[in-house]
Amino acid sequence: TQLLEQSPQFLSIQEGENLTVYCNSSSVFSSLQWYRQEPGEGPVLLVTVVTGGEVKKLKRLTFQFGDARKDSSLHITAAQPGDTGLYLCAGGNHGGSQGNLIFGKGTKLSVKP
């Protein structure tokens, strides 16, 4: 069974601070995805990374896929209250009908004004 470990589980910071969330596994994934979920809503895709060592930027968010495609990180610069939410990483496997998408436990981020 493939597992994704996310850390930290909870993070409470002040507006303007930087933070990093980690997603680790002992398994290799074809792709890793990051989602943000607000209470009562479905997760919303932020980014997909597929190449080992890949770095993607989305405004103040920087995503990195580990060289061995087993881990990923999400770094937020100058966090804002609007960044508050549950951040989920998900590992994907390709391979036709056998591929699936499993989630880490999530990091609950609270950014205080």
Partner 1 sequence: DAMVIQNPRYQVTQFGKPVTLSCSQTLNHNVMYWYQQKSSQAPKLLFHYYDKDFNNEADTPDNFQSRRPNTSFCFLDIRSPGLGDAAMYLCATQGDPQGVRTGAFFGQGTRLTVV
Q: Which residues bind partner 1 (CB under 8 A)?
A: 30-31, 33, 35, 40-45, 47-48, 50, 88, 90, 92, 94-106, 108
**Distance of closest approach, residue 17 Cβ to partner 1, in angstroms:** 23
Minimum gap (Å) between residue 86 Cβ and partner 1: 9
Kindly state the smallest distance separating residue 2's Cβ from partner 1, in Å: 11
Q: For 35, what's the count of Cα atoms within 13 Å in the CB-facing half-sphere?
A: 18
Comparing CB distances to partner 1, the nearer of 74 and 90 is 90
Tell me whether residue 90 or residue 111 sits nearer to partner 1 (CB atom). Answer: 90
What separation in angstroms does the CA of 46 have from each of 14, 31, 104?
Answer: 22, 13, 15
Residue-wise burial string across 63-95, b where 16 or more C-beta atoms lie within 10 A, e elsewhere: bbbbeebbbbbbbbeebeeebbbbbbbbbeeee
Closest to partner 1 by CB, 53 or 99: 99
3-state helix, strand, coil in the chain (%, to 5): 5, 50, 40
Please report how close the Cβ of residue 26 comes to partner 1 at its closest, in angstroms.
18
Instruction: Between 47 and 79, name the residue whose CB sits nearer to partner 1.
Output: 47
